[in-house]
Amino acid sequence: MDKSQKLVQIIKETAKEVPMQVRNNNEIFSKIPFNVFAESGLISQEEYNKIKPYIDEFKLNDPKNMIKWLIDIHFAGIESINDSVSAVRRDLLSSEISKISAVKDKIVTTYENDNQLVGYMEQLIDVISDIEGKIRDYIREIDKIDNLPSYKFFLQANFNKKKVTTAVQLTKASLNAYFEALNIYVVIANQNYRRQSNIKVNQYLEKKKDFINGLSFSLLLAYDKEKDESFWNSSVKLKEIDKIKSISKNLSEYLLCEEEKEIDFENNVIY
């Protein structure tokens, strides 16, 4: 793929993962036809003609704008998750989400060169690790109640019901924040590594698969009021990591292509 094809592929793959609340609540993102961007299959000239005006409007053919657009999308997702957490319970999870938002503030206010990106990446890795710990704690809390003798469970029914419901909701919010943080990490990592291979990012994401495989999704589904089978599915979550890897690969190749040669984006034809 050449530069422009890589750009369209990144936009399409990213658009598929944008949370609905971000599409509906954000004034900027609501202008973008995500339904067009997320169409499957090859990009035809007709499809490209639909997408190009929005690429031009947001100047996404400029790598700096592309990186900013990707980061803004995922930070908007973090902000929407924080709202849902606050509605459930003021929890230490809110603190972790605030740390992710703080990375954005630092990028906006103090970012001057790529050397600083290493520090931002380290902060995100710490937050991602902390969120993993919280997810384990929430599941452990549910498991402890699930294993109570039946008479104790019955005697504490109302209390247990509320406690389990909260733990399930916080686990869901934590997993959403977890994947948004991974997306942000990947974008920043690619901006930092530049010509280096994508191996480091892939190795890190593979370790995250081990974490996902160790979660008790069946237990969470059993206590989820909404019975959201598609969410509490380890295979689906593993595919989400694969999607992040795919976007990372395309982004890495796009940035490399940008460094190696300049392509006339305006006149390039995509089939």
Each residue's pLDDT tens digit, 164-182 = 888 898 899 899 889 989 9
Q: With contact defined as beta carbons under 8 Å apart, do 66 and 14 qualify?
A: no
Instruction: Note the pTM of the prediction, 2 decimals.
Output: 0.78
- Look at 64-68, 229-233, 265-269 and tell me which has the smallest mean pLDDT: 265-269
Give residue 153's pLDDT: 57
The Cα–Cα gap between 58 and 61 comes to 8
Reduced to 3 states, what is the DSSP secondary structure of residue 228?
coil
The Cα–Cα gap between 192 and 195 comes to 9
Q: With contact defined as beta carbons under 8 Å apart, do 50 and 36 qualify?
A: yes
- For the record, the structure tokens of 139 come out as 């599941």
Q: What letter does residue 116 receive in the DSSP assignment? A: G
The Cα–Cα gap between 60 and 41 comes to 21
- For the record, the structure tokens of 63 come out as 């790598």
Q: Where are the domains of the chain?
A: 3-260
- For the record, the structure tokens of 95 come out as 């603190």
The Cα–Cα gap between 102 and 179 comes to 17
List pLDDT tens digits, range 198-234: 778 888 999 999 999 999 999 999 989 899 999 999 9
Q: What is the DSSP string of 84-138?
A: HHHHH---HHHHHHHHHHHHHHHHHHH--SGGGHHHHHHHHHHHHHHHHHHHHHH
What are the distances in angstroms from CA 188 to CA 85, 121, 201?
A: 25, 7, 11
Which residue type, as a one-letter code, is found at position 122?
A: E
pLDDT at 265 over 50: no
The Cα–Cα gap between 113 and 248 comes to 21
Backbone angles phi, psi at 27, to 5 degrees: -60, -40
Mention every residue, 6+ apart, whose C-beta is less than 8 A from residue 81: 97, 173, 176, 177, 180
